[in-house]
Amino acid sequence: MCGRYASTLPPEMLQELFKLLNKLDMVPRYNIAPTQPIAAIWEQHGRREAHFARWGLVPGWVKDPREFPLLINARVETMAEKPAFRDALKHGRCIIPASGYYEWHTNPDKTKQPYYITYADGRPMALAGLYASWMGPNGEEIDSVATITVPTNAQLSPIHDRMPAIIAPDAIDDWLNVRDVRAAEARQLALPLPDGVLKFHPVSTRVNSARDDDPGLIEPATVEPPKPPAAKKRVAGGSAQMDLF
Protein backbone atom coordinates (compact mmCIF):
# COMPACT_ATOMS: atom_id res chain seq x y z
CA MET A 1 0.00 0.00 0.00
CA CYS A 2 0.98 3.64 -0.22
CA GLY A 3 0.67 5.41 3.11
CA ARG A 4 3.21 8.25 2.92
CA TYR A 5 4.68 10.33 0.13
CA ALA A 6 6.58 13.54 -0.62
CA SER A 7 5.62 16.41 -2.90
CA THR A 8 8.18 19.16 -3.41
CA LEU A 9 7.21 20.65 -6.79
CA PRO A 10 6.90 24.46 -6.85
CA PRO A 11 3.33 25.61 -7.61
CA GLU A 12 4.39 27.19 -10.91
CA MET A 13 6.00 23.95 -12.12
CA LEU A 14 2.95 21.95 -11.01
CA GLN A 15 0.68 24.29 -12.98
CA GLU A 16 2.76 24.04 -16.16
CA LEU A 17 3.52 20.33 -15.99
CA PHE A 18 -0.08 19.21 -15.49
CA LYS A 19 -1.71 21.95 -17.61
CA LEU A 20 -3.72 23.44 -14.74
CA LEU A 21 -6.04 26.41 -14.96
CA ASN A 22 -5.24 27.44 -11.39
CA LYS A 23 -2.35 27.49 -8.94
CA LEU A 24 -2.41 26.27 -5.34
CA ASP A 25 -0.42 28.00 -2.63
CA MET A 26 1.76 25.06 -1.60
CA VAL A 27 5.01 24.47 0.28
CA PRO A 28 7.36 21.48 -0.11
CA ARG A 29 6.23 18.47 1.93
CA TYR A 30 8.40 15.46 2.74
CA ASN A 31 6.10 13.27 4.84
CA ILE A 32 2.49 13.57 3.73
CA ALA A 33 0.23 11.29 5.77
CA PRO A 34 -3.40 10.08 5.66
CA THR A 35 -6.15 12.45 6.90
CA GLN A 36 -4.03 15.46 5.94
CA PRO A 37 -5.11 17.86 3.18
CA ILE A 38 -3.25 17.04 -0.03
CA ALA A 39 -3.13 18.47 -3.55
CA ALA A 40 -5.17 16.51 -6.10
CA ILE A 41 -5.97 17.28 -9.72
CA TRP A 42 -9.26 16.52 -11.49
CA GLU A 43 -11.43 17.84 -14.30
CA GLN A 44 -14.94 19.25 -14.02
CA HIS A 45 -16.87 20.74 -16.96
CA GLY A 46 -13.72 20.66 -19.06
CA ARG A 47 -11.63 22.55 -16.50
CA ARG A 48 -8.52 20.90 -15.07
CA GLU A 49 -7.72 22.34 -11.66
CA ALA A 50 -5.82 21.45 -8.51
CA HIS A 51 -7.72 21.19 -5.24
CA PHE A 52 -6.94 20.51 -1.62
CA ALA A 53 -8.66 17.32 -0.47
CA ARG A 54 -8.55 15.06 2.58
CA TRP A 55 -6.51 11.89 2.09
CA GLY A 56 -9.09 9.30 3.05
CA LEU A 57 -12.08 8.85 0.75
CA VAL A 58 -15.57 9.66 2.04
CA PRO A 59 -18.26 8.61 -0.50
CA GLY A 60 -21.18 10.95 -0.92
CA TRP A 61 -23.65 8.43 0.52
CA VAL A 62 -21.93 8.28 3.92
CA LYS A 63 -24.12 9.65 6.72
CA ASP A 64 -21.37 10.58 9.18
CA PRO A 65 -17.68 10.68 8.08
CA ARG A 66 -16.59 10.33 11.71
CA GLU A 67 -18.09 6.85 11.80
CA PHE A 68 -16.74 5.72 8.41
CA PRO A 69 -13.47 3.74 8.04
CA LEU A 70 -10.40 5.52 6.74
CA LEU A 71 -10.01 4.58 3.05
CA ILE A 72 -6.63 5.79 1.83
CA ASN A 73 -6.09 3.12 -0.87
CA ALA A 74 -8.29 1.41 -3.47
CA ARG A 75 -7.13 -1.92 -4.88
CA VAL A 76 -7.17 -1.85 -8.68
CA GLU A 77 -8.48 -5.43 -8.81
CA THR A 78 -11.70 -4.65 -6.93
CA MET A 79 -12.35 -0.91 -7.16
CA ALA A 80 -14.89 -1.27 -9.99
CA GLU A 81 -17.13 -3.47 -7.81
CA LYS A 82 -16.74 -1.96 -4.34
CA PRO A 83 -19.51 0.49 -3.37
CA ALA A 84 -16.99 2.90 -1.84
CA PHE A 85 -15.05 3.29 -5.10
CA ARG A 86 -17.11 2.33 -8.16
CA ASP A 87 -18.86 5.69 -8.63
CA ALA A 88 -15.59 7.56 -8.18
CA LEU A 89 -13.95 5.35 -10.82
CA LYS A 90 -16.67 6.45 -13.26
CA HIS A 91 -16.97 10.11 -12.34
CA GLY A 92 -14.16 11.06 -9.93
CA ARG A 93 -10.77 10.06 -11.28
CA CYS A 94 -7.87 12.26 -10.23
CA ILE A 95 -4.10 12.35 -10.01
CA ILE A 96 -2.00 13.21 -6.99
CA PRO A 97 1.32 14.89 -7.79
CA ALA A 98 4.28 13.41 -5.93
CA SER A 99 8.06 13.59 -5.93
CA GLY A 100 8.31 10.08 -4.50
CA TYR A 101 6.62 7.75 -2.04
CA TYR A 102 7.60 5.63 0.97
CA GLU A 103 7.15 1.92 1.48
CA TRP A 104 8.09 -0.28 4.41
CA HIS A 105 9.90 -3.61 4.17
CA THR A 106 9.28 -6.07 7.00
CA ASN A 107 12.59 -7.56 8.19
CA PRO A 108 12.95 -11.15 9.48
CA ASP A 109 12.90 -9.81 13.06
CA LYS A 110 9.54 -8.07 12.28
CA THR A 111 11.04 -4.57 12.39
CA LYS A 112 10.16 -2.38 9.43
CA GLN A 113 12.59 -0.44 7.27
CA PRO A 114 11.23 2.48 5.21
CA TYR A 115 12.36 3.07 1.63
CA TYR A 116 11.94 6.13 -0.54
CA ILE A 117 10.93 5.35 -4.13
CA THR A 118 11.15 7.76 -7.08
CA TYR A 119 11.40 7.78 -10.84
CA ALA A 120 14.93 6.84 -11.85
CA ASP A 121 15.23 10.01 -13.93
CA GLY A 122 13.87 12.24 -11.15
CA ARG A 123 10.70 13.37 -12.91
CA PRO A 124 7.50 13.95 -10.90
CA MET A 125 4.94 11.22 -10.39
CA ALA A 126 1.21 11.33 -11.10
CA LEU A 127 -0.31 8.89 -8.61
CA ALA A 128 -3.66 7.52 -9.77
CA GLY A 129 -6.47 8.46 -7.43
CA LEU A 130 -10.22 8.63 -6.91
CA TYR A 131 -12.07 11.57 -5.38
CA ALA A 132 -15.51 12.17 -3.93
CA SER A 133 -17.37 15.15 -2.49
CA TRP A 134 -19.44 14.72 0.66
CA MET A 135 -22.16 17.21 1.58
CA GLY A 136 -23.34 17.43 5.16
CA PRO A 137 -26.84 18.29 6.44
CA ASN A 138 -25.75 21.80 7.37
CA GLY A 139 -24.10 22.58 4.04
CA GLU A 140 -20.60 21.50 5.01
CA GLU A 141 -18.55 19.94 2.22
CA ILE A 142 -15.57 17.58 2.23
CA ASP A 143 -13.52 16.75 -0.85
CA SER A 144 -11.56 13.55 -0.27
CA VAL A 145 -9.33 11.17 -2.20
CA ALA A 146 -7.87 7.68 -2.16
CA THR A 147 -4.81 6.49 -4.05
CA ILE A 148 -5.00 3.35 -6.22
CA THR A 149 -2.65 0.43 -5.62
CA VAL A 150 -1.56 -2.34 -7.98
CA PRO A 151 0.57 -5.50 -7.58
CA THR A 152 4.23 -4.58 -7.40
CA ASN A 153 6.69 -5.21 -10.21
CA ALA A 154 9.67 -7.57 -9.85
CA GLN A 155 12.08 -4.72 -9.07
CA LEU A 156 10.14 -3.60 -5.99
CA SER A 157 8.94 -7.02 -4.82
CA PRO A 158 11.75 -7.35 -2.23
CA ILE A 159 10.25 -4.34 -0.45
CA HIS A 160 6.48 -4.88 -0.69
CA ASP A 161 3.85 -6.74 -2.70
CA ARG A 162 1.87 -3.57 -3.58
CA MET A 163 2.71 -0.23 -5.14
CA PRO A 164 0.73 2.86 -6.12
CA ALA A 165 -0.56 3.04 -9.67
CA ILE A 166 1.46 5.77 -11.39
CA ILE A 167 -0.16 7.18 -14.52
CA ALA A 168 2.20 7.56 -17.47
CA PRO A 169 2.49 11.15 -18.78
CA ASP A 170 0.83 10.29 -22.10
CA ALA A 171 -2.12 8.65 -20.30
CA ILE A 172 -2.98 11.48 -17.90
CA ASP A 173 -5.45 13.15 -20.28
CA ASP A 174 -7.44 9.92 -20.72
CA TRP A 175 -7.36 9.10 -17.00
CA LEU A 176 -8.84 12.49 -16.10
CA ASN A 177 -11.36 12.53 -18.94
CA VAL A 178 -14.38 11.07 -17.16
CA ARG A 179 -16.75 12.41 -19.84
CA ASP A 180 -15.41 10.34 -22.73
CA VAL A 181 -13.27 7.57 -21.21
CA ARG A 182 -15.27 4.84 -19.52
CA ALA A 183 -14.25 3.21 -16.27
CA ALA A 184 -13.26 -0.07 -17.95
CA GLU A 185 -10.93 1.79 -20.31
CA ALA A 186 -9.47 3.90 -17.52
CA ARG A 187 -8.84 0.76 -15.48
CA GLN A 188 -6.32 -0.33 -18.12
CA LEU A 189 -4.25 2.80 -17.46
CA ALA A 190 -3.66 1.94 -13.79
CA LEU A 191 -0.85 -0.59 -14.14
CA PRO A 192 2.42 -1.46 -12.40
CA LEU A 193 5.37 0.38 -13.92
CA PRO A 194 7.97 -1.68 -15.81
CA ASP A 195 11.12 -2.78 -14.00
CA GLY A 196 13.93 -0.24 -14.11
CA VAL A 197 11.73 2.86 -14.35
CA LEU A 198 11.92 3.48 -10.59
CA LYS A 199 14.76 3.58 -8.09
CA PHE A 200 14.74 3.30 -4.31
CA HIS A 201 16.93 3.67 -1.22
CA PRO A 202 16.49 3.14 2.52
CA VAL A 203 15.72 6.16 4.67
CA SER A 204 15.58 7.02 8.36
CA THR A 205 12.80 5.58 10.51
CA ARG A 206 12.02 9.17 11.47
CA VAL A 207 9.54 9.04 8.60
CA ASN A 208 7.40 6.80 10.84
CA SER A 209 6.28 9.91 12.69
CA ALA A 210 4.02 12.26 10.75
CA ARG A 211 5.29 15.07 12.97
CA ASP A 212 8.63 14.97 11.15
CA ASP A 213 8.58 16.76 7.79
CA ASP A 214 11.95 17.93 6.49
CA PRO A 215 14.35 17.24 3.57
CA GLY A 216 16.45 14.87 5.69
CA LEU A 217 13.69 12.26 5.52
CA ILE A 218 14.42 11.45 1.86
CA GLU A 219 18.19 11.19 2.34
CA PRO A 220 19.70 7.66 2.03
CA ALA A 221 20.36 5.62 5.17
CA THR A 222 22.76 2.67 5.46
CA VAL A 223 21.03 -0.69 6.04
CA GLU A 224 21.18 -4.24 4.70
CA PRO A 225 19.45 -4.57 1.29
CA PRO A 226 16.03 -6.25 1.39
CA LYS A 227 15.78 -9.90 0.44
CA PRO A 228 13.15 -11.20 -2.00
CA PRO A 229 10.01 -12.47 -0.22
CA ALA A 230 9.47 -16.17 0.27
CA ALA A 231 6.72 -17.73 -1.81
CA LYS A 232 3.35 -17.50 -0.06
CA LYS A 233 1.06 -20.48 0.37
CA ARG A 234 -2.41 -19.98 -1.08
CA VAL A 235 -5.18 -20.03 1.51
CA ALA A 236 -8.63 -21.33 0.65
CA GLY A 237 -11.55 -19.02 1.21
CA GLY A 238 -10.71 -16.10 -1.09
CA SER A 239 -10.00 -12.48 -0.19
CA ALA A 240 -10.52 -11.16 3.29
CA GLN A 241 -11.20 -7.66 1.96
CA MET A 242 -14.47 -6.20 3.26
CA ASP A 243 -17.33 -5.76 0.82
CA LEU A 244 -17.23 -1.97 0.97
CA PHE A 245 -13.55 -1.71 0.14
Residue 179 lies in a domain: yes
Query: Hey, which residues does 162 pair with through a beta bridge?
Result: 151
Question: Residue 152: how many CB atoms within 10 A of its CB?
Answer: 19
How far apart, in Å, are the Cα atoms of 216 and each of 10, 202, 213? 18, 12, 8
Task: Determine what percent of the chain is predicted with pLDDT higher than 70.
Answer: 92
Beta strands at 73-75 and 112-119: parallel, antiparallel or unpaired: unpaired
Task: Provide the residue count of the chain.
Answer: 245
Q: Give the active site residue among 49, 67, 81, 103.
A: 103
Is 103 one of the catalytic residues? yes
The model's pLDDT over 162-187, given as tens digits with 9 standing for 90+, comes to 999 999 999 999 999 999 999 999 99
Strand, coil or helix: 206: helix
Query: Hey, which residues does 43 pair with through a beta bridge?
Result: 48
Residue 9: give its domain's CATH number.
Answer: 3.90.1680.10
Task: Quote the pLDDT of residue 221.
Answer: 93
Residue 188 lies in a domain: yes
Is 94 one of the catalytic residues? no
**Tally of structural domains, the chain:** 1
Task: Determine what percent of the chain is predicted with pLDDT higher than 90.
Answer: 82
Residue 197 lies in a domain: yes
Residue 225 lies in a domain: no
How far apart, in Å, are the Cα atoms of 193 and each of 58, 148, 152, 167? 28, 13, 8, 9
Structural contact between residues 235 and 167, judged by C-beta atoms closer than 8 angstroms: no
Q: Rounded mean pLDDT of 198-208?
A: 96
Residue 195 lies in a domain: yes
Residue 101's domain spans which residues?
4-218
Task: Quote the pLDDT of residue 238.
Answer: 45
* Whole-angstrom distance, CA of residue 54 vs CA of residue 72: 9
Residue 159 lies in a domain: yes
The model's pLDDT over 33-85, given as tens digits with 9 standing for 90+, comes to 999 999 999 999 889 999 999 999 999 999 988 889 999 999 999 999 999 99
Residue 235 lies in a domain: no
* Whole-angstrom distance, CA of residue 145 vs CA of residue 36: 11
Task: Quote the pLDDT of residue 136.
Answer: 84
* Whole-angstrom distance, CA of residue 201 vs CA of residue 216: 13
Task: Quote the pLDDT of residue 1.
Answer: 62
Residue 198 lies in a domain: yes
